[in-house]
Amino acid sequence: MTGIVLALLATAISTAVAWLVEAIMPHASLALVFLTGVLLVAARAGIGPALTASVLGLLALNFFFTPPRYTLAVADDGDIATLAFFLVIAALTGNLAARMRAEMAKRRDSLRRISVLYEFSRQLSATVDSGEVRQVLRERLRQSLGRTVDIYLSGKNGTGSFLTPAGPAQHCPQEDLQRALAMEGEVSHHVAPWSYLKLSMDGEPAVVVMSGTLDAEEEATARSLCDLAGNALQRIALGEELEQVRVAAETEQLRAALLSSVSHDLRTPLASIIGSSTSLLEYGESFTAATRKDLLAAVVGQAQRLDRHIQNLLDMTRLGQGSLSLTRDWADVNDIIASALSRLEVVLADLHVEIEVAPDVPLLYVHGVLVEQALVNLLDNAARFSPVGGQLLVQVEADQETVCISICDQGPGIPEPERERIFDMFYTISRGDSGDLQGTGLGLAICRGMIAAHGGTVSAHDGLNGSGSCMRIRLPVLQYAAVVQQ
C-alpha cells in the first residue's frame, strides 16, 4: 500500500512540475519529468510501485498534456508512438533502478553482516573460557537477529541443558528439540513458533533455539556466528592441551633438575663428612690436636652446609604449595644480620666481612626468621664465589618508604643479561673460574619468594667500584600506627 501511495504522489508532483514548465519545454520533453518520478519511485519502493508509476505517468501525460487535452483519446499518431516509448522506457528504467536498489540493499546487508562478524571475532579473541564463548555467542545472536535465542547443549553424558536455565526457550517442545538434535549434519529445522539450528560445539552436538522463522540471510548470519564460535572453542581446547603439555614438560624438567641438584649437593657434604669422620676414627690417635680440630670443623661446616640445602628444599616446597605464612613482629635489622652471619661463621671464615648500617634505619615489621634465611642464602651465595681473603660488604640504608640491605662481594660478577634469570628456580651460571661451585639454583629463587611475601624485592647489580656483584633487598617501611590499624 505504501508503494502505491508513493506512485500516486510521484505522479501528482510530476504533473504539477510538468504544468509549470510546459511553457518553456517542448511537448515531447515533458515525458522526462514523469520519467524522473518513475526513477525516484523505483529507487525508493522497488519494481512494483515503479511500474504503477509508469502507467500512472502515461495516463497523466496523455490526459493533461496530449491533444486533445482532458481526455484519454490521442489525435496524432506521433503522440501514440511517444506515449508507447515513454511506457517502455519508464518500465525499463524503473526495473533497472529497482534492481540497483535491491543490489545496494544486499550490499548494505552484506556489510552489516561483515561488521557483525568482525566485532564478534574481536570479542571472541579476548575470551579464554569455553563457557564464556557460548554466552557471548548467545548474546550476539540475540542482538543480531532481534529475537529470543538460547543454546541447548547435549552434554557428554546425555543430560542436556540450556545456557539460560530459566529462559523462554525452555518452553519449546522437547520432542522438536530432540528431533533437531538427532538430525544428520548441521541443518536447520522449523516448527512454529521456534526455529532450530543444529551444529557441533566443542565436539558435542548442540542446537541453537530461536523464536520465529529465519530467512536465508538470517540463517547465514547465524551459521557464520556459530562457525566463529566453534573456531574459538577449538582454539581454547588446543590452548588447554598445549598448556597441559607445557606443564607436563616443565614438571619433568623440574623433577630431573631437582634430582640432579639434590644428588650433587647432598652427596658432596656427606662425602666430606664421611671422609673426615673416617679419618678421625682410623687415624685419630696419630693426628695432632690441630689436625683433629680441623677435621671436626670440616665435619661441622659440611653438616651446616647440608642443613642449609635441606632447609632450601623445605622452603621451596612451602613456597610452591603456597603454605608460607608470615608471623610478623618488630625486628632490628642489626639483630637479623648478626644472626645470619653467626650461622655462616665457618663459611665466612676466609673473608673480611664489613658491616655498614646507617644510623636512621627504622625497625622492620617482618617475619624475622624468613628475612634471616633470605640473608643467609645471599651471604652463602656471595661467599662461594668470593676469592679467599676477599672483602664482603653488608650495607644497610633507608629512606621514608624502604629499607635497603646490600650484600656486595668481589667475585667475578654476574653478566647483565643473567641478572634476572638467576632468580629462576634451578637456574645456575658459571662465574669466572668457579663453575665447579655452582649450587642447586634454589637459594636465590627462595630468597626472592620470601622477600616478595613481605612486599619487598630482590635484585642483582654491579659490585662496588665496578667489580663483583651486589645483591639488594628492599623491604617496605611500615609505620606503627598503620600496623595497629591492620
Residue 123 covered by a domain: no
CATH no. for residue 444?
A: 3.30.565.10
Residue 309, pLDDT > 50, answer: yes
Q: What pLDDT shows up at residue 334?
A: 94
* Higher per-residue confidence, 318 vs 380: 380
Q: Average the pLDDT over 180-192 and give the result.
A: 68
Q: Say how many domains are in the chain.
A: 4
* Higher per-residue confidence, 456 vs 107: 456
- Identify the domain containing residue 290 by its residue range: 257-317
Q: Average the pLDDT over 122-148 and give the result.
A: 82
* Higher per-residue confidence, 45 vs 399: 399
Q: Please indicate, yes or no, whether residues 112 and 163 belong to a single structural domain of this protein.
A: no
Q: Which residues, other chains included, contact 350 with Cβ-Cβ below 8 Å and sequence gap of 6+?
A: 388, 389
Lowest mean pLDDT among 115-124, 211-220, 433-442, 453-462: 433-442
Q: Please indicate, yes or no, whether residues 96 and 161 belong to a single structural domain of this protein.
A: no
Nearest to 473 by CA among 344, 379, 341: 379
Residue 431, pLDDT > 60, answer: no
Q: What pLDDT shows up at residue 16?
A: 86
Amino acid, single-letter form, for residue 4: I
Q: Average the pLDDT over 179-191 and give the result.
A: 68
Mean per-residue pLDDT over the chain, rounded: 78
User: pLDDT per residue over 311-333, tens digit each?
Assistant: 766 766 665 555 566 778 899 99
Residue 144, pLDDT > 50, answer: yes
Q: What pLDDT shows up at residue 395?
A: 94
* Higher per-residue confidence, 281 vs 176: 281
Q: What pLDDT shows up at residue 285?
A: 80
CATH no. for residue 212?
A: 3.30.450
Range of 254-263, 275-284, 438-447 with top mean pLDDT: 275-284
* Higher per-residue confidence, 298 vs 396: 396
Q: Average the pLDDT over 189-217 and give the result.
A: 75
Q: Please indicate, yes or no, whether residues 303 and 348 belong to a single structural domain of this protein.
A: no
Q: Please indicate, yes or no, whether residues 292 and 341 belong to a single structural domain of this protein.
A: no
Q: Please indicate, yes or no, whether residues 35 and 110 belong to a single structural domain of this protein.
A: yes
Residue 252 covered by a domain: no
Query: Given 317, 346, 365, which residue is the final one in a domain?
Result: 317
Q: Are 463 and 408 in contact (CB under 8 A)?
A: yes
Half-sphere exposure of 108 (CA within 13 A, CB side): 6
Q: Please indicate, yes or no, whether residues 313 and 330 belong to a single structural domain of this protein.
A: no
Q: What pLDDT shows up at residue 319?
A: 57
Q: Average the pLDDT over 431-451 and give the result.
A: 62
Are β-strands 149-153 and 161-162 bridged in parallel, bridged antiparallel, or unpaired?
A: antiparallel
* Higher per-residue confidence, 117 vs 191: 117
Q: Please indicate, yes or no, whether residues 182 and 96 belong to a single structural domain of this protein.
A: no
Query: Given 174, 208, 241, which residue is the final one in a domain?
Result: 241
Residue 216, pLDDT > 80, answer: no
Residue 344, pLDDT > 60, answer: yes
Q: Please indicate, yes or no, whether residues 366 and 451 belong to a single structural domain of this protein.
A: yes
Location of C-alpha cell 642449609: 308
User: pLDDT per residue over 8-40, tens digit each?
Assistant: 888 888 888 888 887 788 777 777 787 888 878
Rounded to an integer, what distance in angstroms lies between the CA atom of residue 266 and that of residue 264? 6
Query: Given 84, 117, 150, which residue is the final one in a domain?
Result: 117
Q: Please indicate, yes or no, whether residues 67 and 167 belong to a single structural domain of this protein.
A: no
Residue 122 covered by a domain: no
Q: Please indicate, yes or no, whether residues 193 and 338 belong to a single structural domain of this protein.
A: no
Q: Please indicate, yes or no, whether residues 293 and 236 belong to a single structural domain of this protein.
A: no
Q: What pLDDT shows up at residue 460?
A: 92
Lowest mean pLDDT among 151-160, 242-251, 426-435: 426-435
Q: What pLDDT shows up at residue 264?
A: 58
Residue 251 covered by a domain: no
Residue 444 covered by a domain: yes
Q: What pLDDT shows up at residue 392?
A: 93
Rounded to an integer, what distance in angstroms lies between the CA atom of residue 87 and that of residue 76? 17
Rounded to an integer, what distance in angstroms lies between the CA atom of residue 338 and that of residue 346? 14
Q: Please indicate, yes or no, whether residues 232 and 267 belong to a single structural domain of this protein.
A: no
Residue 133 covered by a domain: no
